[in-house]
Amino acid sequence: MTIAGPKTATKKTLFTDATAGRDWNLCYYAVASNRNDNLHRLHALRGGTNANDPSTGPYTYASRLVPPNFDQWAVDGSILQLNGRLYLLFSGAPTTNPWRQNTYTSLMSSPTQLSGNAVMISGPTFNWEMVGPPVHEGQEFIQVGGVTRIVYSASHCSSEDYIGSQPLHRDHPSKIVWVKSPNPIFGKNVAAGVYGSGHHFMFQFGTQWFFAYHGRAAQA
């Protein structure tokens, strides 16, 4: 497989939900069939019989990933294993009027079950995080050299200033401290005709690190 391989790879359907209203484990978010956007919630699937190939199935519905104290709008779930524990990371909106998306985490007892309340660890505070509605979304954990970071997107995705940044994680014996970067790590490039560059992730291929994101070639 090469970096360009997924472009021409054969597509596989992992799961189709035939249940009205709602190993490998997959975290996804869904909205009600009436398209009520306020009903976005996180869910988990369980399946995959081959430990080396997540595309094997079948997958079955496992559970809702809704913290006891946060049955609210939630998207973009990802899972971190740190110091023998699992954590769910997600973007949540405690209020939809006015709109605001923050970064939350919740302790997990398994990859498909939560065991703790949602805790907000970061939210939009800088001007570059509040172009349009204030937004944190697309959160992902990156662990390199014993340091865990969260990369996330800020500002509204419809804005040409949709942008990427990271809070820095430092692990202490008695507590976890998140230190937020005051500046984004990348953004739009007018000279190159790249706008709304966000919802990114980093991955290693061989000895090289790559930075992937989505954007557009025209201004908003």
pLDDT in tens, 37-75: 778 899 998 876 776 777 777 788 889 999 999 999 999
pLDDT given for residue 129 in this prediction:
87
Q: Is there a domain that residue 97 lies in? A: yes
- pTM for the whole thing? 0.80
At residue 166, the pLDDT reads: 62
The CA-based dihedral angle spanning residues 95, 156, 80, 52, taken in that order and rounded to the nearest 10 degrees: 130
- The DSSP element (H or E) to which 1 belongs, if any, is none
Domain count, the chain: 1
Phi then psi for residue 128, to 5 deg, are -75, -5
For the chain, which ranges sit under pLDDT 70?
Answer: 1-3, 14-24, 29, 31-34, 48, 51, 158-177, 220
Residue 190's domain is classified under what CATH number?
Answer: 2.115.10.20
**Which residues share a beta bridge with 180?**
167
Is residue 9 domain-resident?
no
pLDDT at 91: 94
Position 172 scores a pLDDT of 45
Residue 67 lies in a domain: yes
For 71, the domain range is 19-216
